[in-house]
Amino acid sequence: MTDSRRTSIAARFDAAHDYERAAFIQKQCARMLAGRIRQHHATQPPRRILEFGCGTGLLSRELVSSFPEAEFHLTDIAPAMLERTRRNLAPLPAAVHLHVMDGENPQLQGAEDGFDLIISSLCLQWFEDRARAFRALIALLRPGGRLMVSTLLAGSLREWRESCKNAAIPCGVPDYPSLAQLQEDWPPDGHGTWDVCTLHDPAPSARQFLQGLRMIGASLPREGHQPAHGLRRAMRHFDSHFDHVTYQAAFGVFQKGC
């Protein structure tokens, strides 16, 4: 990822003051991923956990009470997001540490001690080279440790894509990967699987849908996208045909070899 795009992503999330008001899908995915994490660690709780892209702490809030003996390292590329996590977890437990870190290029003091579990909910879709990021993240796992994540799949935001196509304008929504692409991205030193869930985000109008993206800091278009003059046509098509937006969420778990 270029430095300029990384800076733009961080700035948008820093400015997302009303993130949790609009984070309907993010909250669902965090709860669903937390349930999977608890299920996989029911008999052997992780002792050391790293989260990248922690945002406002939706996932970590689900897990801090589930694993009270664990040491948490919560990271995000946006400093203001970490401050929101700090407030949402206040009073901050002694075993929770906050760090500014780019999950695609994970560099963290103390990471040489390794982690039993690395987690993230709806952050991977911002990465430009998932395979390389997976290799770097899994290198931080202790033998037998797990990486458990959620991300968006091809087919997400279908309604808005269709509206842009109908208006004959380019769509700024990123090209999300297929399930096969995600599976290919796993590194060879372990075993990973994915499962998929379809989620629907209520969107009574295109204006509310686009405003929601801005509120959660997710309005940055794909690289090279230019604003289109036919945006109002796309919005009218959306308003006359849809009242929700579909998301295809993928949940992945990778266990490092022993």
Residue ranges covered by each domain of the chain: 3-156+176-200+248-256
More confidently predicted of 228 and 59: 59
Determine the pLDDT at residue 109.
84
Determine the pLDDT at residue 225.
62
Residues 212, 188: Cα–Cα separation, whole Å? 38
Determine the pLDDT at residue 172.
87
Contact present, 28 and 199 (Cβ < 8 Å): yes
108: its two tokens? 């963290």
DSSP string, the chain: --HHHHHHHHHHHHT-TTHHHH-HHHHHHHHHHHHHHHHHTSSS--SEEEESS-TTTHHHHHHHTTSTT-EEEEEES-HHHHHHHHHHTPSPPTTEEEEE--TTS---TTGGG-EEEEEEES-GGG-S-HHHHHHHHHTTEEEEEEEEEEEE-TTTTHHHHHHHHHTT----S--PPPHHHHHHHS-SSEEEEEEEEEEEEE-SSHHHHHHHHHHTT--PPPTT----TTHHHHHHHHHHH-SEEEEEEEEEEEEE--
Distance from the first to the final alpha carbon of the chain = 31
Reply yes or no on domain 3-156+176-200+248-256 having CATH 3.40.50.150: yes
At 180, which amino acid appears? A
Instruction: Render pLDDT for 169-209 as a digit per residue (tens, 0 to 9).
Output: 999 888 899 999 999 999 999 999 999 999 999 999 999 99
Instruction: Render pLDDT for 219-252 as a digit per residue (tens, 0 to 9).
Output: 766 666 666 688 999 999 999 999 999 999 999 9
Confidence class for position 217, pLDDT limits 50, 70, 90: confident
